Chains A and B, each alone.
Chain A
Amino acid sequence: MPGFFVSGMHMHHWQPSASIDTLQLRAALLRRVREFFHERRVLEVETPLLSRAAITDPNLASAEVRLAGLADSFYLHTSPEFFMKRLLAAGSGDIWQACKVFRGAEQGQWHNPEFTMLEWYRLGFDHHVLMDEVAQLLRELVPGLAGEERLTYAEAFDRYAELDPFAATRDQLEAAVGRFGLDPAGLDRDALLDAIASHVVYPQLGHGGIAFVHAFPASQAALARLDDDPRCARRFEAFVNGVELANGFHELSDACEQRQRFEQENDRRKTAGLPQMPIDENLLAALEAGMPDCSGVAVGFDRVMVLAAGTGNISEAMTFGFDRI
């Protein structure tokens, strides 16, 4: 291939992965986001990217950081949630933030190890009211989102995978994943459900509009309250064109239960041969002091940009995708 090769890098490597037009649109959308929350009197905050604690969820890998001269380990956050909840417990009122978050080993058309999370918390909202607000914001940022539908996790599975995610037997789930060539050995029930959701159910959601899925299985919602039906948690996700844009919860505020869930996650890490992660004792202390009843949501801002700008993948929606750093 003709062209200059400097130290083995392609001649375009130094350039941004997004076009200048896309970057101008991105700046315009961020201005609109700021206006949106200002109008609603939601306070903009900035919380640290570094923490001494890490996320215990076995499906998330925290980036470890060594600071010169310090023996301790620090971690880059996978979401600003823990610090933001500490602010809520301190009486901040409604808060929002757009910040970089880091998730190891996640790279693809819709994943970049470093990406921008737009996250906010609303006192006194339940998750249904928060879904209304997510829909309002998405409509301001992405043109052409005409329809909206809301369905439970069970309804989505029933309609698109012909399965009852709560009652299906292990055999039925194994048969379902076999259809796309996944070996079910070593995968627990939630992993099988994740496979079916991501391969079969989610790709069919939100075409031409926004689809909200709520009432997730309780085992898949570590930071949410349980629903009236205790098999379900008050968690929701938003989809457009088969892509997951947002993940929200009516937040759990019971410190004991939260500690238990963190410990269970560390147990699952141990079983999977993954390292134990330090639990965020500051978060638990904040919950003990009392976090007001609220709902919170995290939106993948770069994915919203992909839809708004019409780029083919997430790298083209940010200045420098992971391949260009």
Chain B
Amino acid sequence: MSSYDTSQFRAGLKIMIDADPYTIVENEFVKPGKGQAFNRTRVRNLKTGRTLEKTFKSGEVFEAADVVDTDMQYLYFDGEMWHFMVPETFEQHAADANAVGENAKWLKEQDTCIVTLWNGVPLDVAPPNHVNLKVVETDPGLRGDTSGGGTKPAKLETGAVVKVPLFINEGEVLRVDTRTGEYVSRVKE
């Protein structure tokens, strides 16, 4: 297993700290004149998602975290785990609720997601930035009804609920931005 020392720190580098995988968000070399040198960093724990400030003595060595982001196709949900497949190799991986989190509502079968593997196990699932989902439930939306600010809620095939314009009907397919959870446009499929 390879290792890195502080002189190799840069944003995006993945290292183990106290047995958890982290990614470096920011790195600053700090040294008072003729004194001990430090690396002042902001790091994100890839297991918990928390970002924290950490300072290390310059020269400290860290084990590289075996963390790899891979494109995978979402296959199905078996009630407990979400299943993915690497298209080129047909290799399958199962991600638990921790890895999928809030993104469960954006997963549509066959869509390509970025699955972060840590030691070969899914740690995080990132859906594509935009997904096309069918509206399964929404009120007809009366013209001139501005009580909802010109929008109404619509439930999509995955269970996600988004605010949509009043003219949207059940059965229509919408393009949604998964990062903001917002309606973008209608899609003709």
Residues of A within 8 A of B (CB): 57, 59-60, 105-111, 177, 180-183, 186-187, 190-191, 194-195, 197-199, 202, 220, 222, 237, 244, 247
Contact = CB atoms under 8 A, between A and B. Distances in A.
Contact of A199 (B30, B34, B57, B59): B30
Contacts of A181: 52-55
A286 to B, nearest CB: 21
A262 B38 CA distance: 24
Nearest to A247: B33
Given A59-B37, A244-B32, A244-B33, 10 more contacts: A106-B29, A109-B29, A111-B31, A180-B53, A182-B38, A187-B57, A191-B35, A198-B30, A199-B55, A222-B34
Nearest to A195: B38
Given A106-B29, A181-B53, A199-B30, A194 B36 contact: yes
A212 to B, nearest CB: 13
Which of the listed residues B29, B35, B54, B58 has the most CB atoms from chain A within 10 Å of its own CB?
Answer: B35
A-B residue pairs, 9 tightest by C-beta: A108-B29, A194-B35, A181-B54, A182-B55, A191-B36, A194-B36, A247-B33, A198-B32, A181-B53
B28 interface: yes
B98 interface: no
A180 B38 CA distance: 12
A108 B53 CA distance: 18
Given A108-B28, A111-B29, A180 B36 contact: no
Contacts of A191: 35-36, 57
B101 to A, nearest CB: 25
A195 B28 CA distance: 13
B56 interface: yes
Given A105-B59, A180-B53, A199-B40, A59 B35 contact: yes
A203 to B, nearest CB: 9
B51 to A, nearest CB: 11
A197 B33 CA distance: 10
A105 B39 CA distance: 12
Nearest to A188: B36
A63 to B, nearest CB: 15
A199 to B, nearest CB: 7
A105 B28 CA distance: 13
Contacts of B38: 182, 194-195, 198-199
8 contacts: A59-B36, A108-B28, A111-B31, A180-B40, A183-B56, A187-B36, A187-B57, A198-B31
Contacts of A195: 36, 38, 55
A20 to B, nearest CB: 28
A194 B7 CA distance: 19
Interface string B51-73: 01111111100000000000000
Contacts of B52: 181
B15 to A, nearest CB: 14
